[in-house]
Chains A and B, each alone.
Chain A
Amino acid sequence: AQSVSQHNHHVILSEAASLELGCNYSYGGTVNLFWYVQYPGQHLQLLLKYFSGDPLVKGIKGFEAEFIKSKFSFNLRKPSVQWSDTAEYFCAVNARDTGTASKLTFGTGTRLQVTL
């Protein structure tokens, strides 16, 4: 079964600082990778996803992530965070070869707090 690890549980940054949130997954087969954001009191929103091709994917709101297959990693980055980026960020994976209904498996999330 697949699993996802997010090592940073709580990150505090000042506005304009650069962001990198770590995500590692464990699965022996081919995966699709996702980053979701959850603003306070709201639902999960897709930031970006990787299925295949260029391992550097760009998402909404200036976020990007790089898939490094050899490291089983899919770290999320943003060059300059804004106060409005304060939210919980979840990395997720689904395994392509577990059947057509394959579920998403989430990491424990990273709470990002951006200070002014």
Chain B
Amino acid sequence: EPEVTQTPSHQVTQMGQEVILRCVPISNHLYFYWYRQILGQKVEFLVSFYNNEISEKSEIFDDQFSVERPDGSNFTLKIRSTKLEDSAMYFCASRKGGSNYGYTFGSGTRLTVV
């Protein structure tokens, strides 16, 4: 069964440093998403991406965050200057098309900001 692949599985970074989280969505999927889950809390939507542009973003997705799909396969989330409160599990998801299809989630990247 096709999978969404995320790397790295765990990243530790110092406060103020830039991080890039990588995702390889399922190849024939058209819609891409980033979510985050702070430890013990619910899964929160960050951003959706379609046709090479952001479709929607949440309040969390401020100027410190950016996404891109540089080569048609990878989908990256960049945090320019990490803060302690950015520590969370970040999940990438992709979806084939239309509004009736299920979302496939990756296994996540645990980001720890120290």
Contact = CB atoms under 8 A, between A and B. Distances in A.
Interface of A: 32, 34, 36, 42-46, 49, 51-52, 90, 92, 94, 96, 99-109
Return the 7 tightest CB-CB contacts between A and B, nearest first: A101-B55, A43-B107, A106-B43, A44-B105, A108-B42, A101-B48, A101-B50
Interface of B: 31, 33, 35, 41-45, 48-50, 55-56, 91, 93, 97-100, 102-108
A34 B105 contact: no
B103 to A, nearest CB: 6
Nearest to A96: B99
B49 to A, nearest CB: 8
A43 B106 contact: yes
The CB with the most chain A CB atoms within 10 A, among B41, B43, B98, B102, is that of: B43
Nearest to A52: B100
Given A106-B44, A108-B41, 14 more contacts: A32-B99, A34-B102, A34-B103, A36-B105, A52-B100, A96-B100, A99-B55, A100-B98, A101-B56, A102-B99, A103-B33, A103-B45, A104-B45, A106-B35
B99 A44 contact: no
A106 B28 CA distance: 25
A105 B35 CA distance: 10
Contacts of A52: 100
A103 B98 CA distance: 12
B71 to A, nearest CB: 21
Nearest to B49: A101
The CB with the most chain B CB atoms within 10 A, among A45, A94, A103, is that of: A103
A42 B43 CA distance: 13
Nearest to B93: A104
Nearest to B43: A106
A104 B103 contact: yes
A101 B54 CA distance: 9
